[in-house]
Structure 1
Amino acid sequence: MALRGTNQEFGRPYNRRIVLESIRLHGPIARGDIARRVGLTVQTVSTIVRELEEHGYVLSMREEPRGRGLPPATLRINPEGGYAVGIHVTPLGVNAALINLSGDVIESTYREAPNATPDHAFDLIGAMVLELTRLRPGGRVLGIGMALPGPFGVESMSFIGPTTMTGWKDVALRERLEASTGLPAFFETDMAAAAMGERLYGLGTGYSEYYYLYFGVGLGGVMVHDGSALRGAWGNAGEIGHIPVVPGGEPCPCGNRGCLERYLSLEALRRRNISDADWVDEVGPIFRNAITIIENLFDPETIILGGLASTDLLERLAGSVANLPNSISARKDRTAPRVTVARGGQHAVLRGAAALAVSGVLSPRFGQIFTAERERGRDILQGKGIAA
C-alpha cells in the first residue's frame, strides 16, 4: 500500500508523518523522490523536511560531487532524534528496552516476577523505565508501548490460565501505564507486537504478506498483510492456539478441549519435561497440520516462526517440516521457504511495543489505529516530547 499525502482535515500533521515514514523506509532519499512517492509537491515536502530537521527527527547529507553540479541532498532518520520504551509483560516477568528511532535497542533489562499482580508489575515498570531513560539524559522520550498476552475483552479467555496473568482482568492498562511512567502509553497483544517488530526490523522487511507464528508461554499468530497486522473486529485476531485440534483432548483454560497450544507452546514443552528434540518429534504431526491450516486460510508468502522460544528450538521446528502436507502454498513457482525462523529475535516484541509509541510520529497507517482520537486537535511533532 502506497503512503500518500492528503489535503483533508488534519492534513498538515498527517503529511509530516507521511514524509517521515517515507524517509524511515527509503532513506537516504532525496526530496524529489519523496514527493513522487507520497503525491505531494516538492515545495510542500521541502517545507515539511525543514520542520523535521529543526526538530531533530531527520538528518540531511550530500555526497561529494562526481561531475558537474551538486548532487541532491538526501535525508535519513536521525536515530537519536527520539526514543521510546518497549515493555513486555509475561507470566514469568517483565522485559523492557529503550529503543531509538531507527529501532536500535540502546539497552534492555529484565525483572523476574512470576504471575505478578498489576500493582507489582506497574511498580517494576516505573522503576525500569526510570533506569532506562537515565541512559539518555535530556533525550526526547516519545512514549511507551506495552505488549502482553491476549486476547482482550473476552470473558472466557482473557487473563485466564497459565498463558496469561491471573488478576489482570478489567485493569485500566493504558491509564495505569501512563500513571506509573509519566509517558504517553499504548498497549497491544504480544504476538501482534512481535509481528510488527519483525516487519519493521527483521525478516519481515523482505515480505509484504507473511504469517508470524508466535511461540510464547501460549501460541498465537498474526497475518501481516501489505505491511500491516490484521487485527480483527476487536483486535484479537490470531488466537490460533485456541483452535481445537484433538477431539476430546486435554482440557484448556478457555473452556474447550484439545486446543492447539495445549500441545504446541512453551508451556506444553514445560509440562512434558522432555528434551527439545524429543518434544519436536512428538508434536511434529500436530505442528505440520497447523502449518497447513495457516497456509490454506491465509495464503502467506511464508510463515515466520518467532516469539519467546530459543532460536535453536525454532530452528528444530522449522527443520521438521520437510514433508509438509499439500496446501495452496505447495507451489512449484515459490521462491520463499514455506516456513522460516525470525531474525528479530526476542527483542522483536519490545521493538514492536516501542513502535506503538513512535507510530504517531513515524507511521501514519499504524498510528491512526491507536492514536487518532487522543491526537485529534494536537500535533505531536510540534511538541518537545518528554525529556528523561
Structure 2
Amino acid sequence: MHLRGTNQEFGRPYNRRIVLETIRLSAPISRSEIAQQVGLTVQTVSTITRELEEQGFVRGARETPKGRGHPPTTLTLNADGGFAIGLHVTPIGVEAALINLAGDVVARRGRTMAPVDPEATFALCGDLVREIRALRPAGRMLGIGMAMPGPMGVESMSFVGPTTLEGWKDVDIAARLEAVTGLPAFVGVDLAAAALGERLYGEGRAYRDFYYLYFGVGLGGTHVQEGNAVRGARGNAGEIGHIPLVPGGDLCPCGNRGCLERYVSLDALDRRLKATDPEAVVERALADGSPVIDTWIEEVAPLLRAAVTIIENLFDPETILIGGLMPDHLLERLLAAAQPFAHSIAEYTDRTAPRVLLTHEGQDAVLRGAAALAVSGLLSPRFGLLFAGEEERAPRDPIMTPTSTKPEVAA
C-alpha cells in the first residue's frame, strides 16, 4: 500500500493515521524518512509525531552515535499505546481477547453456550468485555471487533445449518454491540478476520498475496491480494465451502448437494463420529485413536486436493495458508493425505514458497483479526477524514484523547 499525506491543514486527522501506519510498517524510522515516504514536510511530520508521542502511540529514541553530530531520533510503535477487543462468535460459544497494537494477546476469556441466540450472546459479550477491560483499567480502548460465521445477509445460507447462527436475521449487530460495551464496534466474517490476523501477525506477514483456507466449524477462505483481504461486493467472498464438488452428494443446508464443507470440516467429522457414537467428541476421538477418523481422512483427502487445485487456478497465490479451529495434528494428517497435489498453475519453475503451508495461529488468528477490524477501522486514514476541519472547534478525533486518559505504559 502506497501511503501519501496531504499538506492541507484540514487533513490533520488523516495525516496522523498515515504517519502512524508508516511507523508501524517501517519502524524504527526517522521523521525525515517518514516525510520522504508520505510526501509531507518534515515540520508537519514533527508536529504529528510529537502529538502521537504525547498520546502514547509511539516512542522516540536516539540511535547510537556513529560519527560527528547528533544521530536522528527514530520512532517505534508503542505496543501498549492502545488496545482493542476481539470477539469470535461461533455456533458453540463466544471467545474474547484483549489485543495490543502489536497484535499480542494480552488476555482471553471464553464461554460455551447453546443455543447462541442474540439476546444471550450480547449479554455475554457485555460481561466478557467488562471483565477484560478491568485488566487494563487505564488503557486506551480503541474499539471492539466481532467475527462471525458467514455468509452474511444471504437468505438461503446465513441463518440455517450447524455452521451458521440461527435466529440472527435482521439483527443490527454493530449497534447492539456498541450499546452493551460502550465501544466503537466493527463486524466481519470470521474467515476474512482470520486472514487479516494472519496478514498482520502470523505466517502471512511473509507474503503480499496468499489464500487463507480456514477450517472453522465449516470451511471458508479469503484471498489476500497486495496485503488486503478481497471481500467481495457484500463482504462474503471466500465461501469455498459451498462449492458443490460431489455430484448428487449430501444435502447441504444451503439447498445444494455435495458442498465441500459437508465433507471437509469439523462439522463433517463430528457428524461422522456421532453416526457411530452419539456421545462422540472430536477431541476425545483423536486422543483414543478412533478408526472413524482414519476412514474420514482417507475419504475426504481427495476433496481437499481438488480444493487446493481450484484455489491455485482461480487466484494464483504465492501460497495457500491453512489454519483455523481444527487441531493442528489433525490438519497435518489431512494435509499429508492430500498430497501429492494435482497439477496447477502453481507449478512454476522458480517457486520458492511451499504450495500449502500449515499455520499455527488457530483461534488466535480470528481473535487478532477481529480486534484488527477495530484497530484498522479507527486508525485507517479514511476514518480520519470524518474529522477533517474540526480540529479548531473540538478534538473529536478519538485517537486524540485528553491527557488524563492517556494509555497506561507497561512497566
TM range (shorter): over 0.9
Q: Deviations over 1:348-374 (max 9, x none)?
A: 11111111111144443xxx4xx5797
CA RMSD of aligned residues (A): 2.0
Of 272-281 and 45-54, deviating more is 272-281
Aligned to 2:2: 2
Aligned to 1:344: 361
Contact 1:159 1:166 survives alignment (8 Å): yes
Q: Deviations over 1:274-325 (max 9, x none)?
A: 5544432221110000000000000000000011112212222332343111
What is the CA–CA distance in structure 2 between the aligned matches of 1:77 and 1:361, rounded to whole Å? 16
Q: Deviations over 1:62-101 (max 9, x none)?
A: 2332332222111111111111100000001100001111
Cα 1:20–1:91 change in 2 (3 A) is: same
Where 1:116 maps in the other structure, the secondary structure is: coil
Aligned to 2:375: 358
Q: How far has the Cα of 1:259 moved from its partner?
A: 0.6
Where 2:317 maps in the other structure, the secondary structure is: coil
| Amino acid paired to 2:114 | P
Is it true that 1:104 corresponds to 2:104 in the alignment? Answer: yes
| Amino acid paired to 1:205 | R
Aligned to 1:292: 309
What is the CA–CA distance in structure 1 between the aligned matches of 2:35 and 2:320, rounded to whole Å? 34
Contact 1:215 1:306 survives alignment (8 Å): yes
Q: Deviations over 1:321-356 (max 9, x none)?
A: 431111111112110000001243320111111111
Structure 1: which 5+ residue stretches go unaligned? none
Aligned to 1:213: 213
Larger Rg: 2
What is the TM-score when the length of structure 1 is the normalising length?
0.94
Of 306-315 and 51-60, deviating more is 306-315
Cα 1:121–1:72 change in 2 (3 A) is: same
Contact 2:28 2:76 survives alignment (8 Å): yes
% of aligned pairs identical?
63
After TM superposition, list the pairs within 5 Å mapping 1:78-93 onto structure 2.
78-93=78-93
Cα 1:140–1:88 change in 2 (3 A) is: same
Structure 2: which 5+ residue stretches go unaligned? 274-290, 391-395
Aligned to 2:286: none
What is the CA–CA distance in structure 2 between the aligned matches of 1:313 and 1:298, rounded to whole Å? 26
What is the CA–CA distance in structure 1 between the aligned matches of 2:25 and 2:105, rounded to whole Å? 18
Q: How far has the Cα of 1:26 moved from its partner?
A: 1.5
Cα 1:285–1:57 change in 2 (3 A) is: same
Q: Deviations over 1:147-206 (max 9, x none)?
A: 000111111111211001111111110011011111111100000000000000001100
Cα 1:44–1:106 change in 2 (3 A) is: same
What is the CA–CA distance in structure 2 between the aligned matches of 1:312 and 1:290, rounded to whole Å? 20
Cα 1:380–1:236 change in 2 (3 A) is: same
Aligned to 1:224: 224
Aligned counterpart in structure 2 of residue 305 of structure 1, from 283, 303, 322? 322
Cα 1:69–1:181 change in 2 (3 A) is: same
Q: How far has the Cα of 1:225 moved from its partner?
A: 0.5
Q: How far has the Cα of 1:379 moved from its partner?
A: 2.3
What is the CA–CA distance in structure 1 between the aligned matches of 2:323 and 2:195, rounded to whole Å? 8
Q: How far has the Cα of 1:135 moved from its partner?
A: 0.5
Cα 1:176–1:9 change in 2 (3 A) is: farther
Aligned to 1:381: 399
Aligned to 2:300: 283
Q: How far has the Cα of 1:10 moved from its partner?
A: 5.5
Contact 1:17 1:360 survives alignment (8 Å): no
Q: Deviations over 1:90-147 (max 9, x none)?
A: 0011000011111111100110113311111111111111110100112111110000
Contact 2:302 2:338 survives alignment (8 Å): no
Cα 1:232–1:372 change in 2 (3 A) is: farther
Where 1:97 maps in the other structure, the secondary structure is: strand
Of 200-209 and 336-345, deviating more is 336-345
Contact 1:141 1:386 survives alignment (8 Å): no
Aligned to 2:138: 138
Contact 1:150 1:159 survives alignment (8 Å): no
